[in-house]
């Protein structure tokens, strides 16, 4: 397949590129600093904080799927980059007539309201007592702006005509790929507190061939 990976040099993006190449896919990798990318991919330089729409459109044209690992390197200082970049990705995909997109969000986003939309449930249905009463309030207090931006990002996809899927992992780690993780449709994973970035990438690639994940939010955790 022809795949376009957005934020290809980031924590999840580099795993997406490596695993996709190993699987034999034709990869176009979009990054702010493409010199960090391997030589066996088509590298495209795009800064998603100031998107060049024609270049981004060229990068997604002909893609069977777009995989976006876009997110701030510092969630407390760079909130806003994910929704801004995703708006540009959606516009580029429409211009290029590309349809399938899978993005990374975060497990705590479910209860975050979006301005102008109906209030979401108070808790994610997959969260247990600890997450509802201790874990979620703490993470929201620290990363509230980042999660608000991710909630807007998810709503942009819902409002689009694309074949989207949102992956919601909890705390990300740099442990090696295991291929063993739990997933759930439209809910977080009970007792799932972390997951390797490599496993998130593995699952994103797997979902390309899973029609039941289209227009769904998928929880993932170890």
Domains of the chain: 2-221 (3.40.50.720)
Per-residue pLDDT tens over the stretch 165-215: 999 999 999 999 999 999 999 999 998 999 999 999 999 999 999 999 999
Return the HEC string of 96-107. Answer: HCCCEEEEECCH
pLDDT at 130 over 60: no
Cα separation, 204 vs 111, whole angstroms: 23
Helices (H), the chain: 13-22, 53-60, 81-96, 129-130, 136-159, 197-207
What tens digit of pLDDT does each residue of 45-90 get? Answer: 999 999 999 999 999 999 999 999 999 877 655 678 999 999 999 9
**What's the Cα-to-Cα distance from 53 to each of 30, 45, 78, 140, 193, rounded to whole Å?**
12, 12, 21, 33, 37
Q: What's the rounded mean pLDDT across residues 147-163?
A: 94
Residue 60 near residue 85, CB atoms below 8 Å:
no
């Amino acid at each position: 397949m022809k795949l376009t990976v957005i934020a290809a040099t980031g924590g999840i993006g580099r795993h997406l590129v490596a695993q996709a190449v190993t699987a034999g896919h034709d990869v176009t990798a979009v990054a702010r600093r493409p010199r960090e990318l391997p030589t066996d991919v088509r590298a495209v330089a795009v800064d998603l904080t100031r998107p060049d729409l024609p270049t981004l459109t060229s990068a997604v044209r002909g893609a069977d799927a777009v995989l976006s690992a876009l997110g701030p390197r510092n969630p407390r200082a760079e909130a806003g980059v994910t929704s801004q970049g995703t708006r540009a990705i959606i516009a580029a995909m429409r211009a290029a007539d590309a349809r399938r997109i899978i993005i990374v969000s975060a497990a705590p986003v479910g209860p975050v309201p979006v301005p102008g939309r109906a209030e979401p449930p108070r808790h994610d249905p997959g969260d247990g007592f600890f997450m509802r009463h201790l874990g979620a309030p703490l993470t929201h207090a620290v990363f509230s702006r980042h999660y608000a931006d991710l909630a807007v990002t998810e709503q942009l996809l819902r409002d689009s005509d694309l074949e989207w899927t949102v992956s919601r992992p909890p705390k990300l780690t740099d442990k090696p790929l295991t291929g063993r993780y739990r997933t759930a449709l439209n809910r977080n994973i009970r007792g799932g507190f972390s997951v390797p970035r490599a496993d998130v990438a593995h699952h994103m690639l797997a979902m390309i061939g899973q029609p039941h994940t289209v227009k769904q939010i998928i929880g993932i955790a170890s």
